[in-house]
Structure 1
Amino acid sequence: MRRLIIATLSIMISLGCAAGIFNFGKISYTQYVNPFVGTDFHGHTFPGAAYPFGMIQLSPDTRTDNWDGCSGYHYSDSTIWGFSHTHLSGTGCADYCDLLVMPVVDYEAFVAAMEEAAGREIENFPQDYIFNEYYESPFSHSYEKASPGYYGVFLERWGVQADLSVGRRSAMHKYLFPKGVEPQLVIDLEHRDKVLDSNIKQEGHNAISGRRRSQSWAKDQDLYFYMEFNRPIKLAQIAGGEGYGAKALITFKKSFFSSDLYVKVGISSVSVENARENVCSEIKRWHFGEVKYKADKAWNKFLSKIEVVGDENLMEVFYTALYHTAIAPNLYSDVNGEYRGMDRKVHKAEGYDRYTVFSLWDTFRSLHPLLTIIDRERTTDFIRSFLSIYDECGKLPIWELAANETNCMIGYHSVPVIADAIVKGIGGFDANAALDAMIESSRKAEFGIDVYINNGLVLAEKEHESVSKTLEYAVDDW
């Protein structure tokens, strides 16, 4: 910890850290952020569009089937499967990549040509052909770009330019298709995780909605979505949903005036209605530039909490790192305050925002102490989220994901996060209730905690990882 503090101070001194924080100047701090940092080797980050601590992370998926596919993207890949709406950043376990969307052109003819080349006839179209080996597209990093709140890439197979941006609880896609074609979108809810239940349905002439309940690292994740288009739907071919993921091929009417297709998306853990309200409350016009501008403005506001000046290469290192501190935890409650809790029931966050993705073993040492300094109000929301999790499942979060306790890693590190906030004078939550939750969570007869209490340490013959657990529990108790 001491080395971490010294290293942090060293880089801030070398950059020339300004006398104060929370300095909202006119400089664009997002120009110093490189979202591709960490997407290669074993970094497990993603380059797509995200909002500070936002609900949606809209990013390309290039792999999902190995450890380096935890985030859904790896820089060494040359093929994009599509763009999904939830992503984890920097984790060692894989999940999310929900609700995949991919623009395609003349899809049936393309599939027929592939099947003919393989000596097969096309049957049961489209349900048997909405798989990534058909709709994937090669791409080049030369035609890929990203900045905080924005991602763009050219899809070579389909000749489509894709641009993506996000709000707090919403997303917008902009696809520039070749002139004179009927735009098409593939929607794949079977992508990545085991699907427990799913459906897609058309809503009126220019929207679809649906649900995806899945099982992976989070054992029971519910995601509802509402997706609206700026063009009328000509044909919605929907398949699946009974025992496997629903899929759809959406064809839109041709326009002689524009080659663009815009898509607005909202998601929710509660209902399609809430997903619709989430997106409609934030994106009221078909104006991609406006969504992108607001996302950039939000990121500049967050990044400007610490102002540094100096060598531009070091500034890129600093602000890219600061950017990654605000990818997660993620907003979980809807615009009306509702969310699906640990008990699978619908609850309402009154007077605060409920968050998810609390990887506390990773974050209690440095991320949360930083946020108690530069984002005190959000820290209150985090702690109130901890306490609501405790109310719903009987213990503070260890590694909570989408209202599921994964029990990943060791310790009960919500405890020092809460204690640190109290010591620093952060309020807005019931301190007595927090103390009760801290004590109860430290007395659970699980993961060797009972052995630790009875013996003053975790005995190796009673519990694996005994030394590490003894150290972690001691730190949390202290």
Structure 2
Amino acid sequence: MKKLLLAIVLLTAITAPAQEYHKYVNPFIGTGGHGHTFPGATVPHGMVQLSPDTRIDGSWDGCSGYHYSDSVIYGFSHTHLNGTGVSDYGDIMLMPTMGEPSLDKKEYSSTFSHDNETASAGYYSVLLDDDAIKAAFTATPRVGLHQYTFSKKGQANIVLDLNHRDHLLMGEVRIIDSKTIEVLRQSEAWARNQYVYARIEFSKPMKVTAVNNNAFAPAKTTDTFFAGSLLALSFSTEVKKGEKLLVKVALSPTGYKGAAKNMKAELPKWNFKKTRKAAEKLWNEELSKIEVTSSDKDKLAIFYTALYHTMMQPNIAMDVDGMYRGRDNEIHKAEGFDYYTVFSLWDTFRAAHPLYTLIDKKRTADYINTFIKQYEQGGRLPVWELASNETDCMIGYHSVSVIADAMAKGIKGFDYQKAYEAARHSAMQEHFGLNAYKYQGFISIDDEHESVSKTLEYAYDDWCIAQMAQMLGENDDYLFFMKRSQYWKNVFDPEVKHMRPKKNGGWDTPFDPREVNNNFTEGNSWQYSFFVPQDIEGMIEAYGGADAFEAKLDEMFNAPSRTTGREQADVTGLIGQYAHGNEPSHHMAYLYYYVDKPDKTKQKVHYILDNFYKNSPDGLIGNEDCGQMSAWYVLSSMGIYPVTPGKKIWTPVQPYFENTVIHLEDGTTKTTGKVMPVDNLRFLNYTEEEYRSRPTSVIDSSTTDIVPVPVVLAGGKAFKGSMQVEMKAPFGADKMYYIINTESNEHESRTFEEYTGPFEVTESCQIRAYAEKGRTISHVVTANFVKKPNDYTVRLLSEYNRQYHAGGADGLTDGIYGDGNWRKGDWQGYQGQDFEAVIDLQKQMPVNNIAANFLQDSRSWILMPVKVEYYASDNNKDFKLIGSVDNTIPAEDYNTQIENFSITADGIKARYIKVKAYNYGTLPDWHQGHGGEAFIFIDEITVE
């Protein structure tokens, strides 16, 4: 009888009618603060995100197009990004008005009040105050449905403005008939080459009443076809008081025919209420995959809104017939899978994609099939893909994490061998510091910016590839990538117990673990010193064992919550130096579990759940980042977290809710809850052996161990006279060897000699060194030292930004030139001020030429000086102008470039040379950072 009752209960749990989970969703969560979410109408993973735009610039808190603090709506566009840190999308913007139509944004925009605004899953409405128009929206996967209710009679207008948010390259509007138009919007922003086609249908005839464009149209069809990089139109009709005007907008990435097919298949009729109900049904089906029980309505809203945010992307990016625009910009057909876009992989590999492996295995396989097609069509796996474009935003090649995690969990539906081929190919490239990483075992400041973060994330990704290789029987590759997965040891300093940047073969100094700088990706050393998910036991050992590791975690969580260095908007939600508002910290609270301190994991995780997620517009402590911030909440509240994606086992924590039921795609359910002991979280398909073992990430050192590279320590890269050089092996070594190469010995036959103690160099040289332990040797590390070509000294009369110091004052005349990658630290940066310095030549001498190099990267606010002046003096008091150079490079030129500002001095005699460069000043309105202060970047002043 008990078995029968249990069977009935289980059957009831599976077949019971779904609750209306969509009612728990509050789309306004994250629209305030720094959440960067939007409140508009969309369906799970839909192509359309129909939402109001209250910001039309690229401001930080306007990335989604909407911010809760605003009071003006400019229009309603059909594509938006959920919680990203860079603006894009905002395609096909429509705005209703009444009276004489205007195509001026200031005229057709309208104020609004949150008192007259409503948002729910699949629905959004607002009252536009200026003309008292109620605007309501819902959607299907590929079609947005507008409903405008007019409070008075008169002429109603629908403004279509294609010059909205990102840069319009070319727009087209084709008038098919009085109720139908077709639109192409080709634009660029974060993604450089975007195509959005649309079919727009009005519920009643409309006529064109205003046009603003800058291109001609065929002479005989000027009333039916409009084109240009400036394009806006108004469509008008007479309406009665209380009349409703509906507009359908179908999108397609492939063409007008695709948009028409999408319209016919998904929304052939005009029933707004029925379409909204269908959208809500789609959300109920998705949200019902996880049932949580709580008497706290706010917690239910937070949980289901978090789950909702994880389901807003990736977005379907193919037409109903499977046609899509590939990475090669050609049209293809998806066979046997659905093609998607918006892969914020640096964020989402950590928790969002592992969540999908649990509740959305079919889409997980589709995502990986999309990756494979992008590899075949574009030459590599996606990094941060948007609209079939690679933005190359963020770091790593974290597609491989998603693939390895799916393979480890047995998800089928994609070609494992092809996926492995693509993963291996991505790891063998030579861009973004990979060349240095492959050949010396780490990335230094000299090689690439964000060197520490890239080294660490590449090492984890390589471990993922190794797991794939092992599953496929590629044993040689398994060993190769497992060795690379230990390269994290080359940037770990056991003395200070931190990951820290290297420069010229040694540690970069001075070192402050709180400093946010260009050696880390959106963070500092604290926020990266625990990122070794592939070798947690090895990391614990490197810190000195379990007690020392626990103490280091305690130190991080208890440190003052203040960073130094660059202001970084992403670093929010600080508990000590833990930053929950940004992804690199997300696994850290779970690391206590690995030193047998699960109570500390629970304390930290539950504190974050209680305090950093709220049922309010500012309810997210940081950017949503395409579902990652919310995925952390969903998984943590269920009692699990994927510290190491690519392993089947999850790391447990005490569940947050009274009861949680997970409905899996095979029809079974898994249950967890607050009263369940942590060690009984058996709702995944573990083997008994896997379940009994604590989740670990041990690397077999007997076959894949490495010897970390030695550290070459000296007083700096440039020296006068002579300099002492010392070598150390941070992880210990039996022996170290080195060789010194100079111009004077370049023709000699020389070999490495054993290091026995510090030695002296007296000329410019290259030192190459390696360490040996047992029968294993390290990579060779290289350090280049330059004997200064002069004995000049420099006195700075301006104050540089300490992030961009180039080695201090003497770094401007040391004979070492900065290159185009200014983030490596070889340039000196001055913001909001002129540059002024005096060079002491040490004695009076004839001067024939004076020059200084400056850099421009306009997107990064670095602009050429307006003018550079050179002065001469004998007494360091009375300076005479001897020449000036005016800048000729426009600030609008976005190419990164170096310019030499040089004058001929005709042998004038002087001891002191003053250089003064005039700053561009405040960034103008056309610049995305308008209102901010420009930088001057200078490196290497030469006096001949």
Question: Alpha-carbon deviation of 1:246?
Answer: 1.5
Distance in 1 between residues matched to 2:208 and 2:254, nearest whole Å: 28
1:302 partner amino acid = E
Aligned position for 1:223: 196
Which residue is 2:284 aligned to?
300
- Counterpart check, 1:277 vs 2:261: yes
Instruction: Pick the aligned partner of 1:30 from 17, 22, 30.
Output: 22
How far, CA to CA, are the matches of 2:119 and 2:74 in structure 1?
A: 18
CA distance in 1, matches of 2:425, 2:13: 37
Specify the alignment match of 1:142 in structure 2. 115
Q: What is aligned with 1:56?
A: 48
C-alpha distance 403-184 of structure 1, shift in aligned 2 (>3 A): same
Pairing 1:336-347 to 2, within 5 Å after superposition: 336-347=321-332
Change (3 A) 1:172 1:42: same
2:15 and 2:113 map into 1 onto residues whose CA distance is: 38
SS of the equivalent of 2:182 reads: strand
Cα pair 1:39 1:74 within 8 Å, conserved: yes
Alpha-carbon distance change, 466 to 19 in structure 1, aligned in 2, over 3 angstroms: farther
Could you tell me how far apart the structure 1 residues matched to 2:179 and 2:448 are?
57
Match for 1:218: what amino acid?
Answer: A
Higher relative contact order (CA 8 A, sep 6+): 1
Give the superposition deviation at 1:158.
Answer: 1.3
- Is the aligned partner of 1:334 residue 2:319? yes
Whether 2:80 is the aligned partner of 1:87: answer yes
CA distance in 2, matches of 1:294, 1:241: 41
Q: Distance in 2 between matches of 1:46 and 1:255?
A: 32
How far does residue 58 in structure 1 lie from its aligned partner after superposition?
0.1
Give unpaired runs (5+ residues) of structure 1. Answer: 1-17, 109-128
Offset of residue 470 of structure 1: 0.9
Deviation at 1:205, TM superposition (A): 2.1
Aligned ranges for residues 55-454 of structure 1 at < 5 Å?
Answer: 55-65=47-57, 66-108=59-101, 129-240=102-213, 242=215, 243-254=228-239, 259-310=243-294, 311-454=296-439
Please identify, of 189-198 and 137-146, the stretch whose mean Cα deviation from structure 2 is larger: 189-198
Q: Report the Cα distance in structure 1 between the residues aligned to 2:342 and 2:11, rounded to whole angstroms.
A: 33
Larger deviation, residues 446-455 vs 229-238? 229-238
Cα distance in 1 for partners of 2:12, 2:449 equals 46
User: What RMSD in Å do the two structures reach over aligned CA positions?
Assistant: 1.8
Q: Distance in 2 between matches of 1:417 and 1:143?
A: 42
- Asked whether the 8 Å contact 2:38–2:65 carries over to 1, the reply is yes
Partner of 1:6: none
Question: Is the deviation greater in 182-191 or in 456-465?
Answer: 456-465
Q: Name the SS for the 2:299 alignment partner.
A: helix
Superposed CA offset, 1:75-110 (max 9, x none)? 0000100100000011000000111100010134xx
Distance 1:422-1:343 versus aligned 2 partners, 3 A rule: same
Corresponding pairs, count: 440
- The code of the aligned residue for 1:181 comes to G
Deviation at 1:245, TM superposition (A): 2.9
Question: 1:270-324: per-residue Cα shift (whole Å, max 9, x none)?
Answer: 1111111112211121100111101101011111100001122211111111110
The answer (yes or no) to whether the contact 2:372–2:422 under 8 Å persists in 1 is yes
**For the residues of structure 2 that align with 1:381 and 1:24, how far apart are their CA atoms?**
29
CA shift in 2, pair 1:266/1:240, >3 Å: same
Measured at CA, do residues 448 and 21 of structure 1 come closer, stay the same or move farther in structure 2, by a change above 3 Å?
Answer: farther
Letter matched to residue 107 of structure 1? E
Cα pair 1:64 1:70 within 8 Å, conserved: no
Equivalent pair of 2:56/2:164 in contact (CA under 8 Å) = no
Give the SS at the match of 2:423: helix
Kept in 2: contact 1:198–1:212 (CA 8 A)? yes
TM-score under structure 2 length normalisation: 0.46
Out of 453-462 and 270-279, give the one that drifted further: 453-462
Equivalent residues of 1:174, 1:288 under 8 A apart: yes
What is the rounded CA distance, in whole Å, between the counterparts of 1:25 and 1:62 in structure 2? 39
**Local SS of the residue matching 2:50:** strand
Deviation at 1:236, TM superposition (A): 4.9
Structure 1 position 244, deviation (Å): 2.2
Instruction: Say which structure is richer in helix.
Output: 1
Offset of residue 25 of structure 1: 3.9
Larger radius of gyration: 2
- Alpha-carbon distance in 2 for matches of 1:440, 1:107: 59
Residue type of the alignment partner of 2:263: V
- Please state how far the C-alpha of 1:39 moved relative to its aligned partner: 0.4
- For 1:38, the aligned partner's letter is G
- Percent of aligned positions that are identical: 48
Query: Which residue, out of 440, 449, 452, partners 1:455?
Result: 440
Residue 31 (structure 2) pairs with residue 47 (structure 1):
no
Alpha-carbon distance in 1 for matches of 2:320, 2:337? 11
CA distance in 2, matches of 1:472, 1:78: 41
Partners of 1:147 and 1:332 in 2: how far apart?
24
Q: Give the SS at the match of 1:203.
A: strand
1:360/1:413 contact within 8 Å kept: yes
Distance 2:14 2:397 in 1: 31
Unaligned 5+ segments in structure 2 are 1-9, 216-227, 464-944
| Normalised TM-score (structure 1) | 0.89
Quickly say closer, same or farther: Cα 1:21–1:435, change in 2 above 3 A. Answer: farther
Letter in 1 for 2:106: E
The one-letter amino acid of 2:30's match is G
Deviation at 1:239, TM superposition (A): 3.4
- Cα distance in 2 for partners of 1:62, 1:268 equals 25
| Structure 1 consecutive aligned stretches of length 4 or more whose deviation exceeds 6 Å | 18-24
How far did residue 21 of structure 1 move?
Answer: 9.4
